[in-house]
């Protein structure tokens, strides 16, 4: 019996990497009903997948298992990704316990001053940032070196260069693969996540649906814990929502300029949005 990692699931088959071998396998027994996900670590016997190892995590959308890092792709120009949209992506990463890495693409189109202003709130939050340009190649080697072994997922709005970044990192023309799949399976088929190999045990998930800018499905009282810069302040109120409470460490930090006022304002907007969601009964 050998082991492998599922790169892609389609129909009743899965494409699996096992050592130096890349081949199709079919799930056996109850696995046919339980289903497989890209990223699953599986046990193989003959031409069959006979077991799935316990998942470290499981993303619902995109359907990927065992991811460890999220690449939040943004750009200052063409298109200009708002900081609010980037905040939402980072909250998704924090909520799903993925290590976030901001990848600022198209840096050749913006001035250093524009870039610094855009990134200032995230420096205060200690988010790692890599500046790249898929046109000039700037930062691509640094991004490749920053990727740990394991599975990374990408998130970013249309036009920010996700496919170009994937192509740079993997050598695969993802757009051609998507067109082939569309022709093969029909234009209305929902496309599953696919893992592309980036060398040395690194895999990157091409993830349809992860660019939706919804806030995570969490209770409002959990939101403050998803802001690392707020957590670092150690507010003395354990249940503080950092909105109007007296002697709140976060409010003081905003007032004295330690925390970015714009990011705090967006936090309050997100808090109100979560509080306004209908209650879900289980």
pLDDT along the chain (282 residues), means of 10: 94 93 94 92 96 90 89 95 95 93 97 97 95 97 96 90 93 59 43 85 78 82 96 90 94 95 98 89 49
What is the pLDDT, as a whole number, of residue 175?
55
Q: What is the dihedral of CA 269, 270, 275, 279, to 10 degrees?
A: 150
Q: Which segments of the chain belong to CATH 3.40.50.300?
A: 64-206
- Residue appearing with tokens 């740079």: 168
Spatial contact of 99 and 70, defined as CB atoms under 8 Å apart: yes
Coil, helix or strand for 5?
Answer: strand
Q: Is 55 helix (H, G, I), strand (E, B) or coil?
A: coil
Q: How confident is the model at residue 182, as a pLDDT?
A: 46
Task: Give the pLDDT of residue 167.
Answer: 93
Q: How many other β-carbons are positioned within 10 Å of the β-carbon of residue 132?
A: 25
**Taking the domain 64-206, which CATH number applies?**
3.40.50.300
CATH number of 2-54: 2.40.50.140
Measure the CA–CA gap between 98 and 33, rounded to whole angstroms: 28
Domain boundaries for CATH 2.40.50.140 within the chain:
2-54
- Integer-rounded Cα Rg, in Å, for the chain is 21
Residue 98 and residue 67 in contact, taking contact as beta carbons nearer than 8 Å: yes
């Amino acid at each position: 019996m050998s082991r492998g990692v599922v790169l892609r699931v389609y129909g009743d088959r899965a494409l699996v990497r096992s050592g130096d071998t890349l081949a199709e396998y079919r799930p056996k027994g109850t696995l046919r009903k339980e289903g497989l996900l890209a990223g699953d670590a599986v046990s193989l016997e003959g031409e069959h997948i006979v077991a799935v190892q316990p998942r470290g995590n499981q993303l619902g959308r995109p359907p990927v298992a065992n991811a460890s890092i999220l690449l939040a792709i943004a750009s200052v120009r063409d298109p200009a990704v708002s900081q609010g949209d980037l905040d939402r992506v980072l909250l998704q990463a924090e909520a799903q316990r993925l290590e976030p890495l901001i990848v600022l693409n198209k840096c050749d189109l913006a001035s250093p001053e524009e870039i610094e202003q855009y990134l200032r709130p995230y420096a205060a939050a200690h988010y790692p940032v890599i500046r790249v340009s898929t046109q000039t190649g700037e930062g691509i080697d640094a991004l490749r070196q920053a990727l740990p072994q394991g599975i990374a997922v990408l998130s970013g709005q249309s036009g920010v260069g996700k496919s170009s970044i994937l192509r740079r990192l993997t050598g695969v023309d993802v757009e051609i693969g998507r067109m082939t799949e569309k022709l093969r399976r029909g234009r209305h088929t929902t496309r599953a996540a696919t893992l592309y190999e980036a060398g040395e045990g690194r895999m990157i998930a091409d993830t349809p649906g992860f660019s939706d800018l919804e806030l995570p499905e969490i209770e409002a009282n959990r939101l403050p814990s998803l802001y690392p810069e707020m957590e670092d302040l150690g507010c003395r109120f354990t249940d503080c929502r950092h909105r109007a409470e007296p002697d709140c460490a976060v409010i003081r930090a905003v007032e004295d300029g330690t925390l970015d006022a714009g990011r705090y304002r967006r936090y309050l907007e997100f808090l109100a949005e979560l509080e306004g969601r209908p209650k879900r009964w289980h």
